[in-house]
Structure 1
Amino acid sequence: MHGPAGTDSHWRDGPWQKAGQRLTAHRPAAAGLTLLAALMLAVAAGLVAGGGPLGAALAAGHQSLTFALLAGLGGAVLGLLWAVIAVALGERAERAVMAPAAALTGLPLALALPLAAGLLGPERGLAPMAVATALIAAPAVAVIARDELRALLRREFLSAAQAAGIANGRRLRRHILPNAVLPLAAAAWTALPRALMAESLASLLGLGLPEGVSGWGTAVGAAARAGDAVALAGPALLLALTLWALHGVGDGMRMAFSATATTGGSR
């Protein structure tokens, strides 16, 4: 029997099980998870085996995925903090805090990374590029996370808990945090494909990863300029598959949360 809302069992029973089932039942998400796992294994194997166009493409994938993961995590953390602070300040201050994020999401921020790379010059390092990529990914995460938090705070069970006189700390620990984890994770996930796309586009133009660090975008750009279709096919296909998988998993996470919310995730 599932524990009631506001108990520790909320973290492992009921809505969490349903969310996991709905995520794996979502075909694009399930396929994306499988593909991402296969890509991780292939990249690891390629680093060991090496050699040939496929080995070079997999080695480039290691650089791109590592950079996207680090920059994406940075963007996710910045975006989540942006949203949480905005919501915590109240509705009036929230509008002012979130206005820049909303405005930035309407701009082609991926083009900002080549600009940043150009300003940093040929001696640019990985750390400044990762910071710039994180800043590019953060606004979209902030907007999505703010919307999810606002939707959560309007839920009836929180109004009932407040009316019952439950202390703020207990309400946060037992009601808000367990229900916020999944939607915020879905919001944070969006930073990963954004970071990978921004880095790949910049590297394609020769303004991405520093010299000596070759990612998928770098490999595609070099192969295109050399007119080498064989060398181009591997990294281009792997990049496309990875972006598709990341988006598929992200869509599945959002659908799983929506399903959980409509089935009484915090009874």
Structure 2
Amino acid sequence: MAGARTPAGRAWQRFCSHRLALASLVLLGLLAALALAGPWIAQWRGIDPTLTDLLARFEPPSARYWLGTDDVGRDVFQRLLDGGRISLLVAVVAALLSALIGALVGVLAGFIGGRLDSILMRLTDSVIALPLLPLLIVLAAVDVRKLGVSESVAQSDLLSLYRIIIIVALTGWTTVARLVRAETLSLKARDFVRAATALGASPLRLMLRHILPNAASPIVVATTLSVGNIVLFESVLSFLGLGVQPPHASWGNMLTGAQELIWNAPLLALWPGLLIFIAVIAFNFVGDGLQDALDPRAERR
């Protein structure tokens, strides 16, 4: 097949040979599709997941309520879809922003070198040395109104979502930065970069057209692996009451709401916990598969 003779085709074949990674990718695609289709599914079922009904508290799974209802009568299945949409959105967007920041820091440090390299790498080491989870908890608890944010923005329902994305992005870029720096140091000594330099290519063009595209493999792998960790961070913060705030659902704050009901209604904690576990494991398997598929040494096997 012609497509299999291209590097991308061979990488896809290697990825497909990693059965756990392929199954995880299909599973994540299914989760994402269901989460995105949540509003249409709710409309089709005639259910409002934000509507409370105290007369329907703790309903068991049925044709009406597929996974039952929670302590205030909301449909658990629809809230899981809404929570998945927010949890996965936070994880993916924060991972992409972290990768962007890390790639920028890494390519500048590796390509320019000298004092800038020393400054950026010491900054990276400083961020790595920080205890991440306590730092996230402290930053998530900061009153943004004292930072000059207007009252209307501070009272926004989605402020906690944006804050988590920004906090994780500003603290989670270090792995990508170190990987991209190492790759840049290797690539800038290669013949094709030297040839482009001799032809008069500017430093910006060298970084954007010749170095970053060839450093894409470690960036993609590190970003994919970080998504699972960010799902956990968001869940922990929401579980501690510092993440996504009700009435918006996330898997983490659904666990928070279920912790006092664990003996009376254990399924309320089981479903969001199970989805967090599945999502984190699936992202890790996909990352492992991408690492094997994009490994340049695999071309010589």
TM-score in terms of structure 1 length: 0.80
Q: Is the 8 A contact 1:68 1:192 kept in 2?
A: yes
Which letter maps to 1:118? A
Matched with 2:272 is: 235
The counterpart of 2:77, out of the listed 54, 58, 63, is 54
CA–CA distance in 2 between the matches of 1:46 and 1:67?
Answer: 17
Q: Is the 8 A contact 1:202 1:208 kept in 2?
A: yes
| 1:17 and 2:9 are equivalent in the alignment | yes
Q: Is the 8 A contact 1:203 1:209 kept in 2?
A: yes
| 1:74 and 2:97 are equivalent in the alignment | yes
CA–CA distance in 2 between the matches of 1:174 and 1:55?
Answer: 45
| 1:132 and 2:167 are equivalent in the alignment | yes
Cα deviation, residue 226, structure 1: 2.6
Query: Equivalent residue of 2:173, what SS?
Result: helix
Which letter maps to 1:222? G
Q: Is the 8 A contact 2:99 2:219 kept in 1?
A: no
Q: Which has the higher helix share?
A: 1
Deviations 1:35-62 (A, max 9, x none): 1111112323444334532222222111
Deviations 1:207-261 (A, max 9, x none): 1113432211110121112323111111111111111111111122222222x24
The counterpart of 1:196, out of the listed 231, 249, 254, is 231
Matched with 2:71 is: none
Matched with 1:6 is: none
- After superposition, the Cα gap between the structure-2 partners of 1:164 and 1:114, relative to the gap in structure 1 and judged at 3 Å, is closer
Matched with 2:287 is: 250
1:29-108 equivalent positions in 2, closer than 5 A = 29-50=21-42, 51=65, 52-90=75-113, 93-108=116-131
Structure 2 residue runs without a partner (length 5+):
43-64, 66-74, 145-153
The counterpart of 2:199, out of the listed 153, 156, 167, is 167
Which letter maps to 1:167? L
Q: Is the 8 A contact 1:46 1:55 kept in 2?
A: yes
Q: Is the 8 A contact 2:180 2:218 kept in 1?
A: yes
- After superposition, the Cα gap between the structure-2 partners of 1:111 and 1:164, relative to the gap in structure 1 and judged at 3 Å, is closer
CA–CA distance in 1 between the matches of 2:97 and 2:125?
Answer: 19
- After superposition, the Cα gap between the structure-2 partners of 1:177 and 1:137, relative to the gap in structure 1 and judged at 3 Å, is closer
Q: With CA pairs under 8 Å and 6+ residues apart, which has the higher RCO, 1 or 2?
A: 1
Matched with 1:5 is: none
CA–CA distance in 1 between the matches of 2:126 and 2:275?
Answer: 32
- After superposition, the Cα gap between the structure-2 partners of 1:168 and 1:16, relative to the gap in structure 1 and judged at 3 Å, is farther
Count, aligned residues: 252
Deviations 1:56-91 (A, max 9, x none): 222211111122222222212111111111112215
CA–CA distance in 2 between the matches of 1:223 and 1:127?
Answer: 24
Which letter maps to 1:94? D
Q: Cα RMSD between the aligned structures?
A: 3.2
Percent of paired sites with the same residue: 30
Matched with 2:178 is: 143
Which letter maps to 1:80? A
| Structure 1: 4+ residue segments shifted above 4 A | 121-124, 163-166
Deviations 1:10-48 (A, max 9, x none): xx9632222222122223321221111111123234443
Query: Equivalent residue of 1:96, what SS?
Result: helix
Cα deviation, residue 188, structure 1: 3.0
Matched with 1:224 is: 259
